Structure 1
Amino acid sequence: MSQPVPEPPRVGQTLAALRQSRALSMDELSRQAGVSKSMLSQIERNQANPTVAVVWRLANALGVPLAELLSGDKPAAAPVIATVPAHAIPALRSPDGQCELQILGPLELAGQFEWYHLTVQPGGALVSEAHEPGSREHLSLLVGEMMVEAGDERSRLKAGETARYAADQPHGLRNPGSQAAVALLVVIHPV
């Protein structure tokens, strides 16, 4: 008497839940994973069992371990409140050490919507090339003073003020003061 052959894992429910929890459309996941939209649809409806290569591409695109997709379990719900300890917030420093950008936004939003805690030492400058057409930046100065430059225009900012400016042209932030300038910087890229 032969044993019944176990059924392969059904990843459809897990795939659909992960895709939806990341607010990804089938088109977006298809593009990111290199898997056709029709195949994704069939997998999510448990009408197709994907190859290991397809599951691997989907897991990478979703940023989860391969085993999580193969388990067939419904993924655990994201916590209502996720706390990031101060030591785990990534930071970028300019080569001269005069500017520091702490990356406050989640990395999966990079290139769409970004926000930073910016510190510029006296005499320091953060100068950027033009971002894609339609990009905007919003700088809210918390401490010190800052000179905002966008294209040929300049504006001096005092603590408590916010500057909103086009970032689809060369732009820069300079600290002309005698103390460190601290600000929140939001970058919005067109969708």
Structure 2
Amino acid sequence: MTDLGATLAANVRALRESAGISLSQLAERSGVAKATLFKVERQHTNPTLDTMVAIADALGVTTTALLEQPADNELEIVRAGEGVDISDFASKGQILKSMVVGSVLVEIHHQVFSPGMAETSASHGPLAREHVFVRSGSIEVGPIGSAGVLKPGDYATYPADRTHRWTVVGQRKAEVWIVHTFARGQRDVPQ
């Protein structure tokens, strides 16, 4: 097998294991025989394009993702103010990183909420969750009916699969870091 075959084998195995599914479960989801999957993971076959597409679909990734070399854990830096702009009337912010980890899409946001402003967010889909770290200011966050006030240095997490609200407390802006987690397929990775 070529280096491409080794990459395919490693990626299929890593994606399957990170999703917590067995070869049998992947066979059932993809429609590819378990014996073929076994051979793919051990570099004992050159799968057809149809087989690779079926495996990729079952794992929730693109076919090209199955053939990409894994990163060498190189340092990645996102400078202040960089990222995908998600500013609106109540806050200025950026998505700093969006990545798939196992069966979960993870987004890291930096947002600054303006004093006197509130924002209501609709559900982000089944199993979505938000993790909030407050850097400065005070803000009330959480699902409507069970929100709490956070101050600098505080952390909170809550289900984001229901309507939730952000309300600045006091006369100072509130600067927060947010880690969003979404079930794969609930949100597309920004380009």
- Classify the TM-score, shorter chain: 0.5 to 0.7
Deviation at 1:103, TM superposition (A): 3.1
Pair 1:152-2:145 in alignment: yes
Asked whether the 8 Å contact 1:143–1:181 carries over to 2, the reply is: yes
Change (3 A) 1:85 1:94: closer
Q: Which whole-Å CA distance do the structure 2 matches of 1:83 and 1:29 have between them?
A: 35
Q: Which residue of 1 aligns with 2:99?
A: 107
Pair 1:36-2:32 in alignment: yes
Q: Which residue of 2 aligns with 1:4?
A: none
Change (3 A) 1:155 1:123: same
Pair 1:181-2:174 in alignment: yes
Change (3 A) 1:46 1:88: farther
Change (3 A) 1:177 1:20: farther
Q: Which whole-Å CA distance do the structure 2 matches of 1:55 and 1:190 have between them?
A: 22
Q: Which whole-Å CA distance do the structure 2 matches of 1:45 and 1:149 have between them?
A: 46
Gaps of 5+ in 1: 1-7, 69-74
Q: Report which of the two has the higher share of strand.
A: 2
Deviation at 1:125, TM superposition (A): 3.3
TM-score with structure 2 length normalisation? 0.64
Aligned residue identity for 2:63: A
Q: Which whole-Å CA distance do the structure 1 matches of 2:71 and 2:27 have between them?
A: 19
Secondary structure of 1:49's partner?
coil
What is the RMSD computed on CA atoms of the aligned residues? 3.9
Q: Which residue of 1 aligns with 2:46?
A: 49
Identical aligned residues as a percent: 23
Q: Deviations over 1:18-65 (max 9, x none)?
A: 23455455556985xx56253332333444432344456759335266
Asked whether the 8 Å contact 1:12–1:44 carries over to 2, the reply is: no
Q: Which whole-Å CA distance do the structure 2 matches of 1:11 and 1:157 have between them?
A: 49
Q: Which residue of 2 aligns with 1:72?
A: none
- Structure whose CA Rg is larger: 1
Q: Which residue of 2 aligns with 1:3?
A: none
Aligned residue identity for 1:60: T
Deviation at 1:188, TM superposition (A): 4.2
Gaps of 5+ in 2: 185-191
Q: Which residue of 2 aligns with 1:143?
A: 136
Deviation at 1:117, TM superposition (A): 1.9
TM-score with structure 1 length normalisation? 0.64
Q: What is the aligned residue count?
A: 172
Aligned residue identity for 1:44: E
Q: Deviations over 1:81-102 (max 9, x none)?
A: 4323428953242443633143
Change (3 A) 1:144 1:80: same
Change (3 A) 1:133 1:161: same
Change (3 A) 1:21 1:44: closer
Q: Which residue of 2 aligns with 1:168?
A: 161
- 1:36-115 to 2 correspondences below 5 Å: 36=32, 38=34, 39-55=36-52, 58=56, 60-63=62-65, 75=69, 78-86=71-79, 90-96=83-89, 98-104=91-97, 106-109=98-101, 111-115=104-108
Secondary structure of 1:16's partner?
helix
